Amino acid sequence: MNWDWSNVEDFMPHFWDGLLVTLQALAWGTLIAFSLGLLWAIAQRSDQVWIRWPVTAITEFIRNTPLLVQLFFLFTVVPEFGPTMSPLTTGIVGLGLHYSTYTAEVYRAGIEGVPVGQWEAATALSLPKRRTWTAIILPQAIRRVIPALGNYVVSMLKDSPQIAAIGALDMLGEAKGFTQATFTYEAISIVGIAFIVIAYPASVLLRVLERRLVR
Amino acid sequence: MSADSSTSKETVNPTVDGSELIRFDKVTKRFGSHVVLDELDFSVASGKHVTLIGPSGSGKTTILRLLMTLMKPEEGTIKVGGEYLTHETKNGKLVPASEKYTREVRKNIGMVFQQFNLFPNMKVLRNITEAPVQVLGLSKDEAEQRARELLELVGLTEHIDKYPSQLSGGQQQRVAIARALAMRPQVLLLDEVTSALDPELVAGVLDVLRDIAHTTDITMLCVTHEMNFARDISDQVLMFDSGRVIEAGTPEKIFTEPEHERTREFLSAVL
Ligand SMILES: Nc1ncnc2c1ncn2[C@@H]1O[C@H](COP(=O)(O)OP(=O)(O)OP(=O)(O)O)[C@@H](O)[C@H]1O
Ligand SMILES: [Mg+2]
């Protein structure tokens, strides 16, 4: 088999389309996963059982079922009674929701890692609960867990091709289509390299952050 | 204040003249079946400096933590400045206090911890101004002005822009003292504030506290193993054993002619 540049040329327009989908899924998915996860983590520390218990149950459930099942559910069942979303939007929501249950665990560990003396000092100063969270607990907790959160961005990148199953063609989805139609291997190689090109700098950045933030 | 506390056989209730700032009324604190405070009564008069001494596990920290509302008593009531701390009166009935109510009463109380507990994500200045701005509603300028004065008091003016991790333990503890005072509390609670420090740093912190004790009218409730310091600043020393005040008096009396056998044992062990 010889590398054929004309195959590359034919695939590139599809590649750019797929890359755009991948990057959008990753960026928005990360945003959702990071913010929703934080919300779960804080809710799980609520002193109200009726908040704590459902949140724990839902996040456990989502974390322990396959992403693919959730994607199909969001794509087929939700429109029956809720809004209809495009495949890409559905994919983003699915990825974000799924990964938020992992980031919630990361935040939780970070929050529990803040010494109890910090809460006590905040109480002794009569700081309101909300201010204690935003000015004291979360800045310390998040700083500690940024590297762990970053690992999930890389995981999410690797899971992002699953959204092709509901029709949001990411770069791997595009390559698969191209490969099956032409029986060539250039497209899949390019996409493989693209994954590394995105993931590698991310992991390097993570190492750097880890060294700088976790002391 | 007269220290010759009227001695009932069971408990010693230090007599208090003038305005009473802190009052424990039959306070019971349990952990499971372990009774730490057993119907404890005691009070502290406004402006006085009271030191709690007693063997490990006798409940000294528990008393301070109850006052700071870091824990709740199982029974009894605590009053600060005439107001209930953990209860409030609704329609003439005493009910458990709401978070909001407790926070109001708690504003009168400041605490310095053994482990400093400064906020590591904030510089020294912010550590001190955070609560005055957020809780008392001071403007940033007012709060910073107050912080500068306090940093001068504790001798740390040049460290205003540092993070706690850049300071020695003794310096951190002095910042923590400034942080507590910035709220202008009526009572300052001090729980073994020098026992986490390297020996050579203890004196600096105690000097600051002596200064505060002698130049302000703040009420102090202090747990310490530094007996010389206790002697210097205290109006009254309370000897605790098994969650009860077994002896109370002026430092002169307690340290030189203790009446109670347990006090004598305790003092000969620590002095
Ligand atoms: N959170 C807790 N859970 C269970 N038991 C506790 C708790 N806090 C304190 N105790 C127990 O209550 C008793 C009194 O503790 P406290 O810390 O008030 O003693 P202390 O007089 O301050 O002693 P020390 O001089 O060692 O500091 C001890 O027996 C301790 O084990
Ligand atoms: Mg103690």
Residues 6+ apart with CB under 8 A from B113: A117, A120, A121, A124, B176, B191, B193
Report the SS3 class of residue A5. Answer: helix
Give B29 to chain A, closest Cα distance, Å.
19
| B141-195 residue pLDDT tens | 999 999 999 999 999 999 999 999 999 999 999 999 999 999 999 999 999 999 9
pLDDT at A186 > cutoff 50? yes
Ligand 1 surroundings by CB, under 6 angstroms: B 31, 36, 54, 56-62
**In which band, very low, low, confident or very high, does the pLDDT at A56 lie, cut at 50, 70 and 90?**
very high
Distance of CA B99 to CAs A52, A126, A152, B88, Å? 19, 10, 38, 11
Enter the ipTM: 0.89
Average pLDDT of the residues in A153-170:
94
Per the structure block, which two tokens stand in for A178? 């191209």
Per the structure block, which two tokens stand in for B105? 């009463």
Residue B103, exposed/middle/buried by CB under 10 A (0-12, 13-18, 19+)? middle
Residues 6+ apart with CB under 8 A from B237: B50, B51, B52, B53, B230, B248, B249, B250, B251, B254, B255
| A57-108 residue pLDDT tens | 999 999 999 999 999 999 999 888 888 899 999 999 999 999 999 999 999 9
To the nearest whole percent, how much of chain A has pLDDT over 90?
79
Q: Give pLDDT, residue A22.
A: 95
Q: Give pLDDT, residue B44.
A: 93
Q: Give pLDDT, residue B8.
A: 37
Q: How far apart are CA A169 and CA A87, in angstroms?
A: 9
| B213-236 residue pLDDT tens | 999 999 999 999 999 999 999 999
Nearest neighbour of B107 by CB, restricted to A126, A131, A140: A126
Q: Hey, which residues 78-117 in chain A have their CB within 8 Å of chain B?
A: 115, 117
Q: Give pLDDT, residue B243.
A: 84
Domain at A5-213, CATH from 3.40.605.10, 3.10.520.10, 3.30.360.10, 1.10.3720.10: 1.10.3720.10
Mean pLDDT, chain A, as a whole number?
A: 93
Using the structure block, give the residue that is written with the tokens 């867990």.
A145
Q: Give pLDDT, residue B99.
A: 83
Average pLDDT, consecutive stretches of 10 residues, N- to C-terminus, chain B (271 residues)? 39 53 94 92 93 93 95 92 86 84 91 96 97 96 97 96 96 97 96 93 94 93 93 94 90 91 89 73
Q: Give pLDDT, residue A95.
A: 97
Residue B206, exposed/middle/buried by CB under 10 A (0-12, 13-18, 19+)? buried
Nearest neighbour of B131 by CB, restricted to A120, A127, A139: A127
To the question of pTM greater than 0.90 for the whole model, the response is: no
Helix and strand numbers (H, E) in chain B are 9, 12
Report the SS3 class of residue B66. Answer: helix
Q: Give pLDDT, residue A215.
A: 53
Q: How far apart are CA A74 and CA B163, in angstroms?
A: 48
Average pLDDT of the residues in A42-56:
94
pLDDT at A1 > cutoff 90? no
Q: Give pLDDT, residue B5.
A: 42
Q: Give pLDDT, residue A15.
A: 94
Query: Hey, where are the domains in chain A?
Result: 5-213
Ligand 1 test: best mutation among B35, B38, B56, most atoms within 8 Å of CB?
A: B56
DSSP state of A44: T
CB B76 within 8 A of CB B40: yes
Contact assignment for B130 to A125 by CB distance below 8 Å: yes
CB A205 within 8 A of CB A212: no
Helix (H) or strand (E) holding B224: none
Q: Which ligand is nearest to the CA of B238?
A: 1
Mutation test of the interface with chain B: which of A120, A125, A131, A133, choosing the one with the most B Cβ atoms within 10 A?
A: A125
Residues 6+ apart with CB under 8 A from B167: B124, B156, B159, B175
Q: Give pLDDT, residue A159.
A: 95
A186-213 vs A138-159: helix axis angle to the nearest 10? 170
Contact assignment for B135 to A125 by CB distance below 8 Å: yes
Residues 6+ apart with CB under 8 A from A187: A7, A8, A11, A14, A15, A174, A175, A178, A179
Handedness of CA B86, B90, B95, B100 (dihedral sign): negative
